Amino acid sequence: MRSQKAHQGRLATLVVLGVLLTGCARQDYPESADPRLPISGTTGAVVPLAPEMLIGSWTLLDVADPGAGKILRLADGELHLIGSPCGTLGGTWRANDEGVFLADIWSASTAAVEGISGCEKASQETPGWLRSVTAYQFDGTGLPVLLNGRRQPVARLIPGATPTPEPDKADTVLEPPVVTDEARRALKPAVALPATLVPAGPRQPVGRWAPASGHKAAYVEFTADSEWHGSDGCNDQSGRWITGADGTLLATARASTLAFCADSVPIEQWVITARRAGLDGKVLVLFNAHGDETGRLSPTN
């Protein structure tokens, strides 16, 4: 397997272990993030949200799961959960200026997978506490707090965490992440939906969708447990998704094969570059951060 995304190529020491295991308990529908701006507990003022301020190496505090890990490293699209019983877990994350947050774990360090019982499963599944995170805010001191869909704190992030070296941990994981121009572009506010479309709500993307043209096997299915699965016609693709206010849609993607076939449809690119989703009648229309329409999908069931 090889990654289709440049940022995933930097996870050189992580072993991709396939798709998520099925059968685990999930919530019925993904809770869309509450778009309300957080209020400072000390001044009562509205605290502006800037997703690039989440980039850093953070010590995790107040997480209910004792095996959650000690450090959450958020870089340019990359996520590392460090210090769990299964070593370093890797994946991707998304956030926006409306307070929406999404994380996806899909790989683990080689040593952990080979040496510890249960770590293969852990490497293929985002931990429950991190799956529950749908939003973020900054507290009265300006530090990030990760929230669930009910606006309850799930974890507090303390800056300055320093990962310790491991035999199969890349040096880049040990370095403090920096906010690059590329990261700022990826996290910039999204243009609003055209007024002619109905913003997609938290349940509306759920279902199986297909493009109007291209390979007959191309499709994407958004499931009620915040997962999506699809194909460009030749390659199986997957990730996680979340909705927010005004048609906000954010999604991650995992590693995929790179088989070539004629008439393939860039389903994965449509999904992971989406920042807004609206309905034109029954057709789901996806838009990138610039407001450009990137794909149209019709329901198949």
248 secondary structure, DSSP code:
B
Q: Is 152 exposed, middle or buried (0-12, 13-18, 19+ CB in 10 A)?
A: exposed
DSSP 214-241: S-TT-EEEE-TTSEEEEESSSSEEEEEE
pLDDT digits (tens, 9 = 90+) for 73-89: 999 999 999 988 788 88
Q: What is the pLDDT of residue 271?
A: 98
Q: Is residue 163 helix, strand or coil?
A: coil
Per-residue pLDDT band for 244 (boundaries 50, 70, 90) equals: very high
Distances (CA, A) of 152 to 42, 130, 134, 208, 240: 18, 13, 10, 31, 21
- Map out the domains of the chain as residue ranges: 6-186, 198-299
* Residue 263 pLDDT class (50, 70, 90 cuts): very high
pLDDT band at residue 93 under the 50/70/90 scheme: very high
pLDDT at residue 48, as a whole number: 62
- For residues 224 and 25, the model is more confident at 224
The Cα 156–Cα 143 span in angstroms is: 8
CATH T-level assignment (fold) for domain 198-299: Lipocalin (2.40.128)
DSSP H or E stretch at residue 47: none
* The model scores a pTM over 0.85: no
pLDDT interval class at 122 (50, 70, 90): low
18: pLDDT strictly greater than 90:
no
Least confident of 4-8, 49-53, 106-110: 4-8
